[in-house]
Amino acid sequence: MSLTPPGGTTTIAGKTVSRLGFGTMRLTGQGTWGDPDDRHRAIRVLRHAVHTHGITHIDTADAYGPHTCEHLIKDALYPYPDDVLIATKVGMVRPAPNMWAPHGHPVYLRASIEASLRRLNTDRLDLCYLHRIDPEVPLADQLGTLQAMQDEGKIGHIGLSKVTSESIRLAGKYISVAAVQNVLNLIDRYDPALELCRDLGIPYVPYRPLDAGNLAREERMATALHWLLQLGSHVAPIPSTSNPEHLHQIVSVTANGWL
């Protein structure tokens, strides 16, 4: 039985997916570091997202854990349903809990992509974001590495994360930008890239749509998610939770307000 996609549908990286996606960042230990306290619950959340709630856009990164969430996704969802888009990110290293640093050296990016392919047990990453632009490495070299691996068939589409409008325009000289992932929520309400993506026909994926839990109470959550969805059909938020009951609330308030 097919499930009604929460929030309706949009197209990302050539797939028709639910506009309400699922971010996996909270499926790790504290500080986005290490394994979750309850691994079985993390796997249950992922399976509920796809098989119970009809979410077909799953977002992750090799830096979550690091590596933890990609392993969880494989264990929970492989073999992957044809209609599910799994997006990951490379280009960030984790020195310690709550610490993040961009690392865009071409050798590192290539090694990271190969490692993500193995962890996810797939021959191709449908959507791979450059997690951060490394200011110490020419952008052409960073994007050139991803494009080379796209040409090899190991990446389907390339996205950008936490970028300015200027960076999106510059990146467009080197690659076809398949998606942009930036912070946007009722607290951080303004991002010029939102309108640029609309103008350029690029899907815009707001991460931290519930402001890291500050908007997670049910009445505020409904307002926050409905506000994002009404910004345009190209907007596809990816709330994250490690709690199956909270996931049910997120899907319910989205569906009740929009379907």
The Cα 214–Cα 195 span in angstroms is 25
Q: Are 204 and 173 in contact (CB under 8 A)?
A: no
* Phi, psi angle pair for 130, to nearest 5°: -80, 110
* Phi, psi angle pair for 148, to nearest 5°: -60, -40
| Cβ neighbours, 10 Å, residue 171 | 22
Whether 64 is catalytic: yes
Q: What would the two tokens of residue 189 be?
A: 């309400």
**β-pair type (57-59, 101-102):** unpaired
Q: What would the two tokens of residue 150 be?
A: 């796209």
**β-pair type (101-102, 92-93):** antiparallel
The Cα 245–Cα 181 span in angstroms is 26
Residues tagged active-site? 64
